[in-house]
């Protein structure tokens, strides 16, 4: 649709054998289920347990193993050899969830159940991404039963299939083949087609991101969640940008490091972020996105989402907050290094954007189309 698939595989293969990984290229894996948990140790989360307000994690019973993130269908992973990993588990590097380690950009390291991935000789190419909360894959448009259900942010290679009318309403479809081995059709309206080397209107891109973000309201908060039914604060931003063909770091602090500085609150635009840290800390541990005027969006597990603790009581979800309620001032008065107070303690804020220039956006677009480019950031 946008570029030659065979050429993509050739370039990817060359990169894989280059100095990026050295002579001993690691084993390549792809995720074969719609959503797979990435854990910080080889242990599964307990089933059917909802973390209470103020809780940060779901531990494997009898251990300190918690949630790290989630990986979606077709996602690229590298196997990390570790003889201490028990049977049924794999230690992996999640290339499409970048972080910064000792000054080097790389994928996040976590553990995944072995039956949720398969080994491949080459990574699948992507030219589209799911932009709806969930997208059904069907054998034929007339089918009422989906063969697979894909989360927001799932990357696919989509080929035009054609139009089909139901009740007189025509709908365009594309064909996809998933790492699970299933093939089917997906509505074009559920996909964001990613164009290589095409300069975008940044204002239109911001508007589309804010529009999609508005559909995430009330999605369940889950520490380490990174899918359409449960997300944490950084995954909220990460998934919405990934659903627009932009690959950014997975977590708040590396996002802060990768993003460009916004000089003042008067320069903040929809889609930009407000990051903050504890006054006695060095790493960013939370973030919000500016939506419009004085409204921001936050994904929180604190059980409240305003300074007064009266809005959205007893909730763990994605919700809107007013700048004056949250920060004690209008957006125009937000500033880098400014201190403010939340019920959880004093914080220091920083203003950042991923839309500072065409070059910045293009780098994120290039990384989406070929995630191995994160190693060159």
Report whether pLDDT(112) > 80: yes
Of 99-103, 241-245, 299-303, which gets the smallest average pLDDT?
Answer: 299-303
Q: From CA 263, how far away is CA 86, in angstroms rounded?
A: 49
Residue 266: count of CB within 10 angstroms of its CB: 12
Residue 316 placed within a domain: yes
* Structural domain for 321, as ranges: 202-353
Find where tokens 């919405």 sit: 240
Mutual orientation of helices 202-214 and 358-369 as an angle, nearest 10°? 60
Specify whether the CB–CB gap between 294 and 322 falls below 8 A: yes
pLDDT at 18: 47
Residue 324 lies in a domain: yes
Flag whether 371 is in a domain: no
Residues 6 or more apart in contact with residue 87 via CB below 8 angstroms: 114
Within a domain: 330: yes
Q: What is the mean pLDDT of residues 75-95?
A: 97
Res. 155: pLDDT tops 60: yes
Q: To which residue do tokens 């080397």 refer? A: 197
More reliable by pLDDT, 10 or 47: 47
Classify residue 175: in a domain, yes or no: no
Tens of pLDDT along 25-62?
899 999 999 999 999 999 998 776 665 544 456 778 88
Strand stretches in 167-227, DSSP E:
169-177, 183-187, 191-193, 220-221, 226-227
Domain-embedded: residue 126: no
Arithmetic mean of pLDDT over the chain? 88
Average confidence (pLDDT) over 283-288: 95
- Span 97-109, mean pLDDT? 96
Q: 241: domain CATH number?
A: 3.90.1720.10
pLDDT band of residue 151 (cuts 50, 70, 90) is: very high
Give the number of domains in the chain. 1
Check residue 16 and give its pLDDT. Answer: 47
Question: Is 241 domain-assigned?
Answer: yes
Q: Which residues, in sequence order, are bridge partners of residue 73?
A: none
Report the SS3 class of residue 344. coil
pTM of the model: 0.91
369: pLDDT strictly greater than 50? yes
pLDDT of 21 reads 58
Residue 265: inside a domain: yes
Averaged pLDDT for residues 293-304: 78
What integer pLDDT is reported at residue 2 of this predicted model? 45
């Amino acid at each position: 649709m946008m570029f030659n698939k065979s050429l993509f595989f050739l370039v990817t293969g060359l990169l894989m054998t280059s100095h990026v990984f050295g002579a001993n290229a690691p084993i390549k894996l792809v995720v074969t289920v719609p959503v797979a948990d990435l854990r910080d140790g080889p242990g599964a989360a307990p089933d059917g347990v909802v973390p209470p307000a103020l809780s940060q994690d779901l531990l494997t019973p009898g251990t300190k193993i918690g949630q790290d993130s989630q990986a979606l269908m077709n996602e690229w992973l590298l196997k990390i050899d570790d003889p201490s990993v028990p049977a049924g588990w794999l230690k992996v590097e999640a290339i499409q969830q970048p972080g910064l380690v000792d000054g080097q950009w790389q994928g996040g390291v976590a553990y995944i159940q072995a039956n949720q991935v398969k080994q491949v000789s080459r990574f699948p190419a992507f030219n589209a991404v799911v932009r709806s909360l969930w997208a059904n894959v069907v054998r034929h448009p007339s089918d009422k039963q989906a063969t697979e259900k894909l989360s927001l942010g799932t990357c696919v290679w989509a080929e035009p299939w054609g139009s089909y009318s139901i009740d007189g309403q025509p709908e365009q479809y594309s064909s996809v083949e998933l790492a699970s081995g299933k093939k089917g059709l997906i509505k074009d309206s559920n996909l964001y087609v990613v164009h290589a080397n095409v300069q975008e209107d940044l204002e239109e891109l911001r508007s589309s991101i804010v529009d999609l973000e508005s559909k995430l309201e009330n999605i369940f908060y889950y520490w380490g969640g990174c899918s359409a039914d449960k997300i944490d604060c950084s995954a909220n931003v990460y998934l919405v940008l990934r659903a627009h063909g932009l690959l950014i770091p997975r977590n708040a602090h590396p996002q802060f490091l990768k993003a460009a500085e916004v000089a003042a609150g008067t320069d903040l635009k929809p889609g930009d972020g407000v990051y903050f840290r504890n006054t006695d800390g060095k790493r960013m541990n939370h973030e919000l996105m500016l939506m419009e005027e004085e409204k921001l969006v936050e994904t929180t597990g604190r059980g409240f989402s305003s300074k007064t603790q009266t809005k959205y009581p007893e909730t763990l979800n994605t919700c809107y907050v007013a700048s004056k309620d949250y920060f004690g001032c209008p957006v125009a008065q937000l500033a880098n290094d400014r201190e403010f107070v939340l019920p959880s303690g004093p914080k220091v804020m920083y203003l950042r954007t991923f839309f500072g220039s065409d070059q910045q956006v293009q780098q994120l677009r290039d990384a989406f189309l070929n995630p191995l480019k994160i190693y060159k950031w």
